[in-house]
Amino acid sequence: MEKTKFTILGESLSGKTCYLLGMYNKMNEGINGYTIVAQDDDLDAELFEKFEKLDDESRGSGRFPVATDGVQKYLFNLNYAHKPIMPFEWIDYPGGLLREKNNADPEQYKEISSNIQDSSTLFICVDGALLVSDDIERKIRNVKRKCSMTINRYFGKYFEAGGKLPPVGIIITKFDLCVQYTNPDEIRKILEQAFSPFFVTDDTLIAVIPVSLGTYIKDDDYHGEVDPLNIHLPIFMGIWFALLEQINVYKYQIASNESSINDLKWLKDDEEDSFFLWRDDDKIRRLAGQISDKKDEIQRMKQLIKNAEENSEMFEKELNSINMLFIDGKWQ
Ligand SMILES: Nc1nc2c(ncn2[C@@H]2O[C@H](COP(=O)(O)OP(=O)(O)O)[C@@H](O)[C@H]2O)c(=O)[nH]1
Ligand SMILES: [Mg+2]
């Protein structure tokens, strides 16, 4: 099966790494028995250490991770009751990579598109600092100039080349900065204007999720405490869609096993009906064995579907708190 992937796009300094650190810390502790664990111990140690630094109020603005350019990939496992239920890859592309098409390596550019296409959810970070103003036109301009212009240009080409959009999570990062300057109605208007190519196609799903590391984190020159808002929701959304995809893959595999069973049965019946002198009993036994293996495989898939459905219920319940959802051409 294809590995589950999530792609996150956003300008440098828009809060992608901080989101990941906050998310990892929260999900590493776990919610309702679900935990996220780095596949590699070194990565686990690195993320943990960076989060501890972030959580250290005494460092002030020195608490934040050092900015990095270039693509970053992280491998995680989603566990339930400490058992892996879904390995996944988190791919972080800074805005610059989308912009550098002409001078960048064409292979890498192609890889971005194929990763987006294969992602169970595409996340786009919009820096909440761009919404700090009393003037909606100004906020739209900010988001266009400092965020969506590059992304829209990239996706113009992506759509032209036949690329399909996975479900999209627009993460408004640093929501603590802009919470008193905006509201859900206004955010809907701003995003529709700034990301218009995403809002014109019919079969899109866009969830808008404001997140923050803490309401007061910025106070006293970034000496405020870490108290994350909604930090689990984007990853829950991603996992929920990945589980739905898994269920579909299993259903497809069941159907294909059922059709092979029919073919095998037909061959077996045919052999059984043949005149006894020519009948090949070994072949009949072999076919019976193959049929029984396929039936076992179907049972196994049915159990996996049941597990995935049970898991997806918990995620779906949590996702009910997302109140900015755009599905099939309209806000819900
Ligand atoms: N007020 C506030 N600032 C944040 C928050 N998250 C990140 N920042 C600030 O944004 C900067 C860039 O974040 P980072 O995650 O490194 O951005 P990246 O380049 O997209 O990975 C940090 O150094 C912090 O100063 C947040 O939740 N609230
Ligand atoms: Mg970063």
- Distance of alpha carbon 19 from alpha carbon 231, whole angstroms: 7
Helix intervals (H) in 56-148? 95-99, 106-118, 136-143
- Distance of alpha carbon 58 from alpha carbon 38, whole angstroms: 28
68 lines ligand 1 (CB under 6 A): no
Helix intervals (H) in the chain? 16-29, 41-54, 95-99, 106-118, 136-143, 149-160, 175-178, 184-194, 196-199, 219-222, 233-273, 281-319
Say which residues have a Cβ less than 8 Å from residue 64's Cβ, sequence separation at least 6.
18, 54, 222
Chain-centroid distance, C-alpha 209: 13
CA-214 nearest atom, ligand 1: 27
CA-222 nearest atom, ligand 1: 1
- Distance of alpha carbon 169 from alpha carbon 147, whole angstroms: 15
Percent above pLDDT 70 for the chain = 98
Say which residues have a Cβ less than 8 Å from residue 184's Cβ, sequence separation at least 6.
323, 324
196 Cα: distance to centroid of ligand 2 (angstroms): 26
Rg (CA), the chain: 24
Mean pLDDT for 157-185 is 96
CA dihedral (212, 217, 218, 224) in degrees, to 10, reads 180
Flag whether pLDDT at 277 surpasses 90. no
CA-18 nearest atom, ligand 1: 15
pLDDT at residue 110 in the model:
82
- Cβ atoms < 10 Å from Cβ of 160: 8
**Tens-place pLDDT, residues 228-264:** 999 999 999 999 999 999 999 999 999 999 999 999 9
214 Cα: distance to centroid of ligand 1 (angstroms): 11
**148 is written with which tokens?**
């969506």
Select from 64, 124, 146, 222 the residue to mutate for testing ligand 1; criterion: most ligand atoms less than 8 Å from CB.
64
Mean pLDDT for 118-133 is 98
103 band by pLDDT with thresholds 50, 70 and 90: low
CA-19 nearest atom, ligand 1: 15
**49 is written with which tokens?**
């250490």
**Tens-place pLDDT, residues 90-101:** 999 988 788 765
**Tens-place pLDDT, residues 281-301:** 999 999 999 999 999 999 999
Chain-centroid distance, C-alpha 11: 18
**Tens-place pLDDT, residues 28-56:** 999 989 999 999 999 999 999 999 999 99
106 band by pLDDT with thresholds 50, 70 and 90: confident
pLDDT at residue 94 in the model:
85
Distances in Å between the alpha carbon of 169 and those of 6, 52, 314? Answer: 10, 27, 19
Is residue 267 within 8 Å of residue 287, measured between CB atoms? yes
276 band by pLDDT with thresholds 50, 70 and 90: confident
Say which residues have a Cβ less than 8 Å from residue 54's Cβ, sequence separation at least 6.
18, 21, 22, 63, 64, 65, 213, 226
pLDDT at residue 2 in the model:
65
**Tens-place pLDDT, residues 184-230:** 999 999 999 999 999 987 789 999 999 999 999 999 999 999 999 99
How does DSSP classify residue 212? B
Is residue 73 within 8 Å of residue 119, measured between CB atoms? no
104 band by pLDDT with thresholds 50, 70 and 90: low
- Distance of alpha carbon 57 from alpha carbon 226, whole angstroms: 8
Flag whether pLDDT at 102 surpasses 80. no
Question: Phi/psi class of residue 168: alpha, beta or left (left: φ > 0; alpha: ψ in -120 to 50)?
Answer: beta
303 Cα: distance to centroid of ligand 2 (angstroms): 39
60 band by pLDDT with thresholds 50, 70 and 90: very high
Is residue 301 within 8 Å of residue 253, measured between CB atoms? yes
261 Cα: distance to centroid of ligand 2 (angstroms): 50
Is residue 46 within 8 Å of residue 209, measured between CB atoms? no
23 band by pLDDT with thresholds 50, 70 and 90: very high
Buried b (16+ CB within 10 A) or exposed e, 101-111: eeeeeeeebee
Select from 26, 69, 93, 174 the residue to mutate for testing ligand 1; criterion: most ligand atoms less than 8 Å from CB.
174
Q: How high does pLDDT run on average in the chain?
A: 93
Name the residue at shortest CA distance from atom 12 of ligand 1.
Answer: 13
64 band by pLDDT with thresholds 50, 70 and 90: very high
71 Cα: distance to centroid of ligand 2 (angstroms): 9
